[in-house]
Structure 1
Amino acid sequence: MITWRRLAETDFPLLRRWLLEPHVARWWNHETTPEAVARDFGPTARGEEPAEDLLVSLDGTPVGLVQRCRYADYPEYLAELAAVLEVDAESVSVDYLIGDPALVGRGLGPRVIAAVVAATWADYPDAPAVVVPVSAANRASWRALEKAGLTRVAEGELEPDNPVDDRDHVVYRVDRP
């Protein structure tokens, strides 16, 4: 069973290990010192940021992270995305990782995404859609979105998370049922 809870500061060592995994580091591009993890994830863990960092577990064992936020809370992202696709400010975005490389490629990512999207409709009653931009080069990520029921609705140039990537992105969307 897939469950999640808000990431806590006590989870930072585990998150740091995941961020160091090559399959995560390639796309997340975070500094991984304990201080950097605390700096980047601490405000959300303490509730000082409007976003959510969710520690995802499978049958009680932590397996990944989902970040979830409303575009309205991050107007700079909404403005950048507007050049590619018009998005209602109440729409929600998600980002995700599966931490353990042994669990990658086994269908867990799409299951996690689908579960979080399903919960989003109750957790964010004003959200008309979940809209997720992804680097076009990150085929595994956009295939996971497709398997979770999202549809590609746009392509365009956005600022990459990792400076080694070009600006080409694909945008996926699912509307509230």
Structure 2
Amino acid sequence: MADYSFRPITMDDLPMFKRWLDQPHIGGWWGDSGTEARLVQDDMDKDVVDMRIVSTDGTPFAYIQDYNAHAFEAPQYVGQPADARAIDTFLGDPAFLGQGHASGYMAARIAELRQSYPCVLTDPDPANTRAVAAYTRAGFRPLDIVPCEDGDPVQVMIAQ
């Protein structure tokens, strides 16, 4: 199993972050790269979202963020523990696709988070079967498909 490191994202990472979001395999599961980069930049100086660049062998290849599941009043997380963490992530560098890195780095990050939090949640689009499968391999199990804050369905998943 590969070793993964998780360092805070910096302003210098934003061009790479945007390039990753423009990759075809992201397939519209995230917003456009300019909007997402602005959102990340806006949150860098706040202490709400922990935003990380994932690397292996010194090479950055993915992005992962976590936050209190109730910080943004997301209806899909109602009823979950008050200190549950939610994660969002994407594997950005296409050279790392299909090698088990997505489930590997997610499992490593979940293990870190579980040292301090009772559970970790995520909410991929149920139509994003590749993401749902990677989350499952990383240790998540499905709960319910429910509407999120914009009304679109999400597959709420939990790692306990």
Task: Establish whether TM, by shorter chain, passes 0.5.
Answer: yes
* Structure 2: segments with no counterpart, 5+ residues: none
Runs of 4+ deviating beyond 3 Å: none
Pick closer, same or farther for the CA change 1:38–1:167 going to 2, 3 Å: closer
Q: Please say if 1:81 is aligned against 2:71.
A: no
**Out of 15, 18, 31, which is 1:16 matched to?**
18
SS at 1:27's partner residue? coil
Give the length in aligned residue pairs.
158
Matching residue of 2:96: 103
Q: Please say if 1:153 is aligned against 2:143.
A: yes
Amino acid at match of 2:87: V
Scaled by the length of structure 2, what TM-score is found? 0.89
* Cα separation, 2, equivalents of 1:49 and 1:158: 23
CA contact (8 A) 2:107 2:139 kept: yes
CA contact (8 A) 2:103 2:138 kept: yes
SS at 1:134's partner residue? coil
Pick closer, same or farther for the CA change 1:37–1:136 going to 2, 3 Å: closer
SS at 2:61's partner residue? strand
Amino acid at match of 1:53: M
Pick closer, same or farther for the CA change 1:172–1:28 going to 2, 3 Å: same
Matching residue of 1:59: 57
Q: CA deviation at 1:31?
A: 4.1
Matching residue of 2:126: 136
Scaled by the length of structure 1, what TM-score is found? 0.81
RMSD: 1.9
* Structure 1: segments with no counterpart, 5+ residues: 161-165
Which structure shows the higher helix fraction?
Answer: 1
CA contact (8 A) 1:6 1:45 kept: no
* Cα separation, 1, equivalents of 2:47 and 2:19: 23
Pick closer, same or farther for the CA change 1:73–1:156 going to 2, 3 Å: closer
